[in-house]
Amino acid sequence: MQNKKFVFIITHSYDNPDKVAGAMQVAANMATFDAEIAFFLMDKGALLAKKGFAETLTWQTKGQFSPVADLMKTLIEDFKIKFYICEACYKYHELNKAELIPNSEPKTGSYLGEMLFERQGLTF
C-alpha cells in the first residue's frame, strides 16, 4: 500500500453511533497494519472529544461493532491516535480543554485542509 496515511472525518455521534463505531473499527484494523491514522471530529462528531460522552452511546446495534467507548480507548491507548476537533464545533458545543479525551485538541478547518494534502480522507 503506497499511501498509508488517513484522516477519518467524523460528523456523527449520538445521531448515528453505528456509523461512528464502524469508522473506528476500520481505523483500528488499519492501524494494526501500521497505517498512520488521525481523526477530525466535526459537527455532532465533536462531542466525542468530551470525556465520558462515548460511554453514553449505548443504543448502537448489538453485536455489529464494539462499543464506541471501547474502540476509542483502543485507538487512544494502544495506537496513540490523535483526535482533532473542529475549532468552530469545539466552540459551538462549548467544550473546554479540561474535559477533553487524551490525544485530542482543537484545530481549524484549514488544518484539516493541510492534512488532506498528505492523507486520504474518509468521511463518516
pTM: 0.93
Q: Tens digits of per-residue pLDDT, 17-61?
A: 999 999 999 999 999 999 999 999 999 999 999 999 999 997 766
Domain covering 5-123 assigned CATH 3.40.1260.10 in the classification: yes
Pinpoint the alpha helices (H) of 53-118.
68-73, 87-92, 109-118
CB 6, CB 26: distance < 8 Å:
no
Domain ranges of the chain: 5-123
Say if residue 11's pLDDT is above 90: yes
Confidence band of 69 (pLDDT split at 50, 70, 90): very high
Residue 65 DSSP class: S
